[in-house]
Every structure is written in structure tokens, then in C-alpha cells.
Structure 1
């Protein structure tokens, strides 16, 4: 099986990647981790009675003796520097079957579902059975785009990571922030500080310090992001007509955990592409979260969003939801066409959340590339 370095250089040779000295500097550490994973013996399965399901919904704790697995990584740096790409190459190169790569938003949805089941069954420590079930199936766990936005998630993630570390699971995660800036200025942040110390203790913290945002290398399509009203509305209407080719449109209602979210206009184009159209306020002006946005990302191949406003601290909640939405669309490689008050880099210039939005703006710019979208 090729190493991470070999996979990287092959992509460079094919013209799929531009060589980056900062990325290349990280390759030997990734290659070393692949070798350590190949040489390490599999961790033993927990001895909790009843198998995977009983552990997930309330089985007792397993052996308390920690197991030493290969040391993991916390890779941080600016947007578009190649963190996710290098993580993908690591997962591809790792010669083990028990490996998983997941976006942090999607993973937290799975964890919350597991916690709810465990609590319903009366588990005193709801996090442990969820973590034990993960550890039984995973030796390499890769989290992309770690971000902590509330103290409840902070406490769950800290407890979860501790159990995974004790079970010898190797964790690799990426973030835009150095560990000390996670959950920065958050409520009751002092409760989160032990988790930061745990990251420093268990993971090699490495900055990917490339000066270049590779997401902006593509050639943008002029018909994916419209700014000037009222012509933007006309342009969106024209794009809808062109893409659907007259296919009938109807609302699409998606059931999500006892709730519903509706896309007002949905059509399947003659080429099979599933296209939805919805306004910003219908998407982000309501108390939706990752579950709703992941459901939308799964239901469409192309999403058209009308009337994205200027974002600031004045509409912080809506802006935060928009960031979560774009994360879901990006991870699912959903194509995006939008009308907005400004170009992505100028949508959110001041106030709480503007730092986090730099990543979103970079992703929006990448999503305008002509080659962006789901395969097939």
C-alpha cells in the first residue's frame, strides 16, 4: 500500500495538487503514523456483557487499564491550507480496516443519538458505552474541522476522547485554531481547560503554516454567486429554469427526528440531478441545527439559496446556522448557487463569529469552482 508521501506526490504529478512546502513538511510525520498503525497490535475488545448494542445503551465499564496506541495528531492552521486533504490521504494510506474519517458536525449528531439511547436505558455514565462501542470498531479515528461552540458539547467531547485514548484509539483531528483557542471566550470555559491539557498530553500539535489558501485556486463560475439586486433574483430564476429544463417543481418535506424541514421548490432535472431552492431566512432564520442541514445535504445534489444578507453580530444566530449549513453542504459536496448581499469574503466582516467565518468564506469560494460537486 502506498505511503502518504507517495499518494501526495502522485496527485502532484497528475496535476491534482499544487506542491506546497508546508504540506510536504508534514508528510514524514503522517508516514510515520501509518507505520506505527501497521505495527501496533489490535486493541482488545471490551468485556462488557451483551455485545455492541448493550454497551451502546447502558453496558457497564470495561477494563480500566489504559492501552497505549500510536500517538495521534492535532493539525491546525488557516483555511484552505490542505488539512482535510492530508487527513484524507492518511486514512487512505493506513493499512488497517478499523479506521474512520468523519466531519465533526456529523459525528456529534451520532454521539447525541447514542447518548439519548443510553440515558433512556438508565446508563449512569452515558458517554462511556458510546465511546466503548466506537473503540471496539475503530483504531484510527479522524475528526475533520473540530470546533466547540457550547459547554455541553465541550464536556461530552472531553469525556469521549478520554475513553478513546484509554482504549488505545489513535485520534487525528484538524482545526482552524490552536488548542488553547478552542471554545475561546465560551461560557464556563474553565470547565473545558482539562480537555485542552488532554489534547496537549495525548496528541502532537502541529501547525500547517502554509501562506496559501488552495481553495481559491480554481476558476470561479460567474453563474454560481450573484450579488447585485434586483438582477440577482432574475439571475437565480434563469439558473433554475436552465438547470431544471422545465421539470415540475414541488415542495420537499424532510422528516427529522419527529420534526420536519421543507424545501419550498424541489425538482429532479432530466439528467437526474436533484435541485432544491430555498431562501436564507427559511433555512437559517429558524432554530435548525446540524441534523436538518445534514438531511438537506443528503437530499439534494444542488441547492439554490436566495437572499443571503450581510452577516454580523446583529444576526449572529442566523450567521452561526449558515456556517453549519455550509459545512454540511461542503462535506456532502453539494453544489451551491446563491444570491447574497456581498461576495463571500465580505459577508461577515465584524463582530463575534467573524474569525470562524473565514473558513466558511473560503469554502464558499471553493464551491464556486467549475469542478465542484458530487461525482456521477
Structure 2
């Protein structure tokens, strides 16, 4: 969202003549590897394939925006530092987003101790790192939060219910609380769900009704499509802190739900046991918990990539929750 806003502002400014490009990081690295296969070494005998491709990109680009930087492949880890160095030396402006801090990249990767120091040096020399999620600490920046915690506080729960009443008050005497809203019943892979009446602008759903059962991505996507069609605000109450073992399944499902709601721009309100960072902390801070998510049936090399992806997914859920539930006063 942040990168989209920045890049769109560049597109809208007719006075700028920058040669600009926006790519997902995965696509960017795939393009580099493909170009490396086709470089004409005889034209630049003193350069490596990585240097040739990086210089070619610099010849074509003034501004490069890369979204969701996540180093999960040892080949990417080995060539990325040199790519960043050359782009910087050639004057290319880089704007990148990531769900991981620089020192968390390539977590669990093969021979990480060899590849991460050059990458960190390259990032330090070419970038200014800003954790924009922490901007909420700035006084007066945010007009309000729609993420309510702790759920155990009667006053906090009352604010959550009051938010619901303000949305629904003119439509019916409420609030109503139900496992899933009444009216239309639809059968999905995870079971039967009663979907919201099309007249209702807001529905309250208990966390266990959504993520406490074996629901899949298709289920969440269908529910989100229904809420979007009816302009429904989704209120999710009693989101717990996910334990290292017993919370793995529900935590993973909640993360997937958050991702889908974010992608489909479904307005949400959350009543949770703790902050977004802390509800995922027992999982994200536990190597054993992440290993449990991954399983045993993959190679050592692939394990590092999946570990990085799993950590990024948890960080992304925290970031998405913050964006979805905070209202800027600007």
C-alpha cells in the first residue's frame, strides 16, 4: 500500500521524466537470473554476468521500486549485494519494502553466515532503513485505531461494541453477536456458513468461528467476496495470543484471513487479547514453532527458504493488521 501510493504519485506527476519501474522482488530476481543466462560475455570481458545485468538495468532505469523484499534463495543472497552496489553507483534511486528487518533476511538460509554480511553492508551503504509501522508512536499522527486490546478489559470491549453500534444503530436494535451471521447459508470447504444479510453494514464474528476450525483459503476468499459485495464491515472479536504449539494452526489461518481481507480491502475491526505484535510473538519468536509449521519432508536447502517465507508471513500479518485498523488524520 505504501509503495503503491508513492509509485502512483510518480505516475501522476507529469513534470517528472524519470524512467521508472515497479516490480515484486521475486519477479525482479527472476528477471536478473534470466538475463544472466543470455549475456554476451565477449562484449564485456572484464565484467561478471551479474555486473553486466546490473549495469544494463541501470542503463534503463532511474527509479526502481521493489515490493516485498524477501531473500529465500542462496543464489539471490549471493548476487544481490553486487546488484545493489552497482545500481547505487550508477545513480539509480531504489525504494524497497520488506516485511523483514535487514538482519533478519535469509533467516535459516544455507551458509547464511557467509552471505548475510555482504548483503547487510550493501544495504547499509545504499539505503536508509525505516520501519514505517512504528510511525504510530508519533503523537497526533493517527486519528484513531480500530484494533482494540486487551479484550479482557470491560472498557475496551465496550468501545469495540460501541463502534459496532455506531455503524449498525440505524438498521436494527443491536448489537447482535453470532457465530456467523444469519440469513443466507452457503456450503464451503470448511463447512456450512451463514452469511450476512445484505442489509447489514456490519457483522460481529467470534474468532473461533472463523479460524478455530479447518477453514482454507477458498473459504476465507468466498466470505470476503460476500462482505465486499454487501459493503460489510467485519468485526472479529476475542482474537487470542497464539501459543507456540496449540496456536500454530489457528495462527496460520488467521494470518491467511488477514492477507485476504487486506487484498480485498474489507474494512475490519479487531478485539484481541494483546497487540498485533504480541499475539504472534510466541510463534514468531520460537524456532521450534516455525519448524513445526514447515514439517520434516523437505531438504536442508529448501528448509531455509521456507523458514524465511514463514517468518515473513508472520511479519506481514502484523503489518497488514496495523494498516487495516489505523486511521490517519492526514
TM-score of the aligned structures, taking structure 2 as reference length: 0.48
Larger Rg: 2
Compute the TM-score of the two structures, normalised by the length of structure 1. Answer: 0.43
